[in-house]
Amino acid sequence: MAIGNRVAFIDGVRSPFGRAGEKGVFWTTRADDIMAKTVVGLLERNPKVPPAAIDEVALAAATQAGDQGLVLGRSVGILAGLPLSVPGYAIDRWCAGAMTATTTVAGGIAMGAYDIAIAGGVEHMGHHPIGAGLEPNPRFISEKLVDPAALSMGETAERLHDRFPQLTKERSDRFSMASQAKAEAAYEAGKIQADLVPVSASGEAGWTVVSVDETRRPGTNMEGLADLKTPFRPHGRVTAGNASGLTDGATACILASDEAVAKYGLTPKMYLVTYAFVGVEPEVMGIGPIPSTEKALAKAGLTMDDIGLIEINEAFAVQVLSFTDHFGMSDDDPRVNPMGGAIAFGHPLASSGVRLMIQLARGFAEHPEVRYGMTTMCVGLGQGGTVIWENPNWKK
């Protein structure tokens, strides 16, 4: 797919992800404050970007209410100290909110409407549990427009196990154990912390600075995973151990045109090649990355063999395995989530798309032999999204 102006990913950061709920580190912290601190950290890390030159702030949340309502892009821009001349808006595509914020402003850059934009997302799943405040239209069920399982993300994952019997619980558990191990190795190497913005938070013991992800489980083993309950159905296969954790957190990135890169002396970490979103059966929403990836690859004129790094959101292990099986990849393909994924870090719904981009950009820096990579994820109510990126460090 040809675009006008080239779109550069300049940088991305995120807050640490905290466990959702009263015992989580962000329980008494507002979602918009976590998001504002993340934007401030992003701008502090990129002093060459003049705040007044930012053309747009697009921020996502799956629940557009309470402390993550009030037109997030605009309200957070004000909270973060951006000039009042900088506009902003809120966006929602459930789990793919930040991914959609990124592709939407990228479209503005490609057509010449923007030169520099900020995109990202936040989800405080402690304040806004999945589905809280939603009123699905009763016609979904009464007219059989949507299978009832579509309204339970855990049940959609169980449906994948049903549809693909070869995707066993043992395989899901083993993938999850590996995700935890890779995340811990990345932490030990300082790769994850390098892109985290510390956030102050208050708790029973007073104020603290949150600087690491709270939901990691180093030392996870198969024996421990085997004993976990299956909450979505009796004798099921989906557990808390092979699914992403409920978390609070925010992400933000800077995108720019080539003209802005040259004007301000910026250094791109990635270039956007193309992207694609698709719809799938809502009750098996986890297969969404398969057709969205096929569509994006076709638009780019590439095949999976051209993709050297893949950051796929680990909403559920079985969802990732359905993707790797479809493309003939092994469960432990080294291209897939080399620094771990959402099973270890958590999945604060609308923020996760940019977390994938942050990790891919770091992977590109470490692997100049890789030319193309992708970020991809499934989306609640039956969608998938894939973005293909090019590595500016690529050397033949």
Residues serving a catalytic function are 95, 347, 378
88 - beta bridge partners?
Answer: 57
Counting beta carbons within 10 angstroms of the beta carbon of residue 262, is it exposed (0 to 12), middle (13 to 18) or buried (19 or more)?
exposed
Q: What are phi and psi of 372, to 5 degrees?
A: -120, 145
Q: Using CB atoms within 10 Å of the CB of residue 198, give its burial: 0 to 12 exposed, 13 to 18 middle, 19+ buried.
A: middle
Strand (E) positions, the chain? 7-14, 18-19, 56-60, 88-91, 116-124, 199-203, 206-210, 247-257, 270-279, 307-312, 372-379, 383-390
Report CA-CA distances (Å) from 155 to 81, 151, 228, 285, 316. Answer: 42, 8, 16, 10, 11
CA angle 84, 87, 93 (to 5 degrees): 140
Q: Cα–Cα distance between 198 and 34 in angstroms, integer?
A: 10
Token representation of residue 396:
């033949």
The structure tokens listed for 98 are 């930040």
Per the structure block, which two tokens stand in for 52? 């007044």
Do the beta carbons of residue 318 and residue 162 sit within 8 Å?
no
CA distance 5 to 253: 18
Is 53 buried (19+), middle (13-18) or exposed (0-12) by CB count in 10 A? middle
Residue-wise burial string across 67-83, b where 16 or more C-beta atoms lie within 10 A, e elsewhere: bbeeebbbbbbbbbebe
Q: Give the whole-angstrom CA distance, residue 388 versus residue 274.
A: 5
Distance from the Cα of residue 21 to its chain's centroid = 20
Q: How far apart are CA 378 and CA 293, in angstroms?
A: 11
